[in-house]
Amino acid sequence: MKTYLTIFFFLISGIAVSAQNTIIKFAADTLVSVGIYEPIDGNSNLAIETQKLVIKPDTIITYKFELVDFGFINLEFSNKSRCDVLMEKGDTLEIRLKNNKITFYGNNAAGNQYLYDNYVSKGWAHQQPTVDYIVKNNTSEKINFDGIYKAFKDSCFAFINDLDELYKRKEITSSFNNIMKQNLNLVSYDLLFQSYSNLLYGFLIKEFKPDSSDKYILTRKIEEIIDDGSDYNIRIRCRYFFPTEYCYLIYRISKERREEINAEYDANIFGSKIPIMLAPEYMHAQLLGKELLYKTVNLPNEFNYNMLNYMISHYPNSAYTLYLQNWANKKESEDLFSIKKNNATIIDNNKINSLKDLSLQEGIKGNYIFVDLWATWCAPCKHEFKNNEELHKLFSQYKNIVTVYISIDKPDRKEIWRKDVDYYNLEGFNLIASENLYKDIQLKLNGKIQAVGIPRYILLDSNGNIVNDDLPRPSSLAELKAVLDNLVK
């Protein structure tokens, strides 16, 4: 698969290796790997890993790639560190990872360090409580939009002066300054959007009910966030631009816009994703492409082929369309001609009303039970499945551990669940939690009936008692082994 993806990115660039003009150098104090996510069609890419490199201590690894003008590159390290970097054509940037801290050297290093120190390492949403307070403090019977905007601008836009200062000191270029400002402007406005969403859904002020004028003004405010008249070629390519979320909220609160878009676009093509089409037309190729890319990685058995055909018809030259066509052809070929190894055992969930019942099942009885709580709609759950081969090798060392995958999907997802069990080859025992079993799990984990966050990994003893209610994830195999060594007798 990695070779296939590399070929894809080589093809869409249309440029020989010798013409690669942008360089990232990596160095680290421990053995670590890094996943590199290059832009697609110049747009920020969080779905498809372009390349994975292994960085050995005290060595420098050089990675060369092509940029037409600029791009945001996402980097995911195996030690859980991550960063996003903005690079311009011809830049050379060195990234050093030491004691889990990232330091930048080279072209526009100061700007990328600012992004990392003030946003990435703190979490993009670290200012969310401040913005929530501003919105809440300016809302009583009506939303005081002017008051919110003033306090919001005073609290969340320090980056403008900070970046200008870096530019004055000639530590970043003028173009880098402009692009990064637009990116962080979108970060701030996304916080405001989330606060407005929390207000409308009753999370900020439970008793607040927006009237028609509030909804009208809010719809216009959100549409201004989506397209504020600035350079769309920069705006749409920024790392933190998620107009899809904004479109869904507009679709919910504006009857006028909802009826308008439902009449214009075919629900048989777009299904529940029709709100995406509320975005300006020039964004459609990117937004539809990203939606389908997400499906290929996280929900392959729910891929929307009608939407792909729409892209082929309307955006035949898009790099998204090229990749998605290749992916669909490859999957069709695999589905027709390959026989996947499947060692999954399906359990009748009608017989399982508690973890105790689970421990008494044939093949499970008398063993420690590693429970993987997941769902077909949970992307992080599926990301962990790629570690299953190593996970089962680890379990083979203990001789008395069995694996049980418990899905918390609703019954109407059973067909998709069954396909996913086969697709991901979930070796071990599999079931969808019955209503009673899920209640038992909630009570044992939460002490009350309350949704359980997933993925969640639990160790049970042979009697169905919880030994550890929050094991390390399979992607942290060394940590998981250390815990199991102390628990499994």
Q: Is the pLDDT at 107 greater than 50, yes or no?
A: yes
- Which DSSP string corresponds to 320-373? HHHHHHHHHHHHHHHHHH------EEE--GGG-SSHHHHHTSTTTTTSEEEEEE
Q: Is 3 exposed, middle or buried (0-12, 13-18, 19+ CB in 10 A)?
A: exposed
Structure tokens at 151: 């306090």
Give the mean model confidence (pLDDT) for residues 40-66: 91
**473, 457 in Cβ contact below 8 A?**
yes
Q: What is the CA radius of gyration of the chain?
A: 25
Using left for φ > 0, alpha for ψ between -120 and 50, and beta otherwise, residue 101 falls in beta
What CATH architecture is 344-487?
3-Layer(aba) Sandwich (3.40)
Phi, then psi, of 43 in degrees rounded to 5: -95, 150
Q: Name the DSSP class of 468.
A: E
Q: Calculate the alpha carbon distances from 166 to 25, 111, 158, 235, 269 in Å.
A: 23, 7, 13, 21, 48
Structure tokens at 114: 């600012």
pLDDT tens profile 206-243: 888 888 888 888 888 888 877 776 777 787 788 877 78
Domain residue limits, the chain: 2-108, 128-336, 344-487
Distance CA(56)–CA(35), nearest Å, equals 15
Give the mean model confidence (pLDDT) for residues 141-156: 93
Helix (H), strand (E), coil (C) string for 84-153: EEEEECCCEEEEEEECCEEEEEECCHHHHHHHHHHHHCCCCCCCHHHHHHHHHHCECCCECHHHHHHHHH
pLDDT tens profile 167-184: 999 999 999 999 999 999
Are the folds of 2-108 and 344-487 the same? no
The fold of the 2-108 domain, in CATH, is Immunoglobulin-like (2.60.40)
How many other CB atoms are there within 10 angstroms of residue 486's CB atom?
A: 9
pLDDT tens profile 295-346: 998 889 899 999 999 999 999 999 999 999 999 998 887 765 555 556 788 9
Distance CA(186)–CA(240), nearest Å, equals 6
